[in-house]
Amino acid sequence: MVKARSLTRWLAFGFVAGLGFVSAAPASAQATLDTVKKRGKILCGVSPVAPGFSYADDKGVRRGFDVDICRAVSAAVFGEPDKVEYVPLNTNVRFQAVQSGEVDILSRQNTWSFSRDNSLGLDFGPVVFYDGQGLMVPKKLNVSSASELANAAICLLPGTTTLQNLEDFFRPKNIKYEPVVFENSDEWRNAFFSGRCDAITTDRSDLASVRAIASDPDAYVVLPETVSKEPLAPTIRQNDPNWRKIVDWSVYALIAAEEKGITQANVDSHLKSEDPEIQRLLGVNGDFGKMLGLDNKWSYNIIKSLGNYVEVFDRNLGPKTRLGLTRGPNKLWTEGGLLYAPPFR
């Protein structure tokens, strides 16, 4: 644990920007698709313990929304979703792991921000989840707004966007608080559960994750303020445009399938569709897979293996799961949300 008073040193190293202490990327022009095919699996960096996003189930199988993004890329590349090895990464080492080639893709609640996009040698794929930072407190604290948190100890993780967001939120209001920083998410959560901090802060979706593992979820309440924009997106190395396009279009395939009403259960019947865009999306017509260096059935395989965006969302995060999230901005643009796939044309 790093107490607030020793934070100055951390701040000087880009901690404030949530960069995780790294500033430059080695240039390795190796084609990730070739490496991945030769290896026979994708190396996917994920959160160690984030129910709904990435966690190991009781049989040790990794599950979650972020996990499914890597499974979609696996289905696109290999025709099957489980040619993936998961590498659990703490917040402060995650971007380094992409830079060094330890992972091919980081699907880990990563916020796409200017400084990350422009100083780390990384690229961000499409936003897969529009989030925002919130704060959670024990109910017994009797606090109903973040503005009541003067002098509170607030638990957070290093190498994240969260501290700068707190500063940006509290400083103009002249509210002082004590950030308490932990090395990993287990320590961070347990410190909050044991009362070491008055509040915990992270993306609102992640607060739902934290609450889901609390022994008494009802003992905690998420405060109404959303203090930032956290567009979460898969992250890849900047020097491999083909790999980036595979990741981009794998996500767009999930969104396009929802736009077209194609589901895991009905995808086969859509193979006979008269809609030219569906024909291209499912590889019935055109060479869209070949343009990516993949089989023309690449996106059919994604939908057949995982379903469309809302199926992935509902299975991992939706109202029937222990996170119980509603879609909010993560609805299709046609339904008032922000999700939009460029045309398959």
Ligand X SMILES: N[C@@H](CCC(=O)N[C@@H](CS)C(=O)NCC(=O)O)C(=O)O
Using only the alpha carbons of the chain, give its radius of gyration. 20
Return the amino acid letter for 228. S
**Collapsing DSSP states into helix, strand and coil, what is residue 285?**
coil
Candidates 161, 226, 305, 308: give the one binding ligand X (CB under 6 A). 161
160 binds ligand X (CB under 6 A): yes
Task: For the segment 181-200, give every residue that binds ligand X (CB under 6 A).
Answer: 185
Q: Are strands 122-124 and 235-237 parallel, antiparallel or unpaired?
A: antiparallel
Give the helix/strand (H/E) hosting 39: helix 32-39
205 binds ligand X (CB under 6 A): no
Residue with structure tokens 């925002």? 132
Task: Find the part of the chain contacting ligand X (CB under 6 A) among 121-129, 153-161, 261-269, 322-330.
Answer: 153-161
203 binds ligand X (CB under 6 A): yes
| Beta-ladder partners of 72 | none
User: Considering the complex, what minimum distance in angstroms separates the CB of residue 48 from ligand X?
Assistant: 4
Which of 212, 284 has the CB closer to ligand X? 212
Of residues 147, 167, 186, the one with CA closest to residue 8: 167
User: Considering the complex, what minimum distance in angstroms separates the CB of residue 267 from ligand X?
Assistant: 32
Which of 135, 246 has the CB closer to ligand X? 135
234 binds ligand X (CB under 6 A): no
Return the amino acid letter for 99. Q
Which of 152, 267 has the CB closer to ligand X? 152
User: Considering the complex, what minimum distance in angstroms separates the CB of residue 227 from ligand X?
Assistant: 12
Give the helix/strand (H/E) hosting 206: helix 204-213
- Give the C-alpha separation, 89 to 105, whole Å: 12
Which of 210, 282 has the CB closer to ligand X? 210
Q: How far is Cα of residue 72 from the mean position of the Cα atoms in its chain?
A: 14
Task: Find the part of the chain contacting ligand X (CB under 6 A) among 62-70, 105-113, 214-222, 284-292.
Answer: 105-113
CB-based burial, 86-122: b 16+ in 10 Å, e otherwise: bbbbbbbbbbbbbbeeebbbbbbbbbbbeebeeebbb
Candidates 202, 305, 308, 330: give the one binding ligand X (CB under 6 A). 202
- How far, CA to CA in Å, does 203 sit from each of 115, 118, 133, 235? 18, 22, 4, 17
Contact 298, 247 (CB under 8 A): no
User: Considering the complex, what minimum distance in angstroms separates the CB of residue 206 from ligand X?
Assistant: 5
Task: Find the part of the chain contacting ligand X (CB under 6 A) among 3-11, 160-168, 214-222, 308-316.
Answer: 160-168
Which x/- pattern over 109-148 shows residues binding ligand X (rule: CB under 6 A)?
Answer: xxx-------------------------------------
User: Considering the complex, what minimum distance in angstroms separates the CB of residue 271 from ligand X?
Assistant: 38
Question: Binding-site residue total for ligand X (CB under 6 A)?
Answer: 19
Contact 159, 182 (CB under 8 A): no
66 binds ligand X (CB under 6 A): no
Binding footprint of ligand X on the chain (CB under 6 A) = 18, 47-50, 91, 109-111, 157, 160-162, 185, 202-203, 206, 230, 232
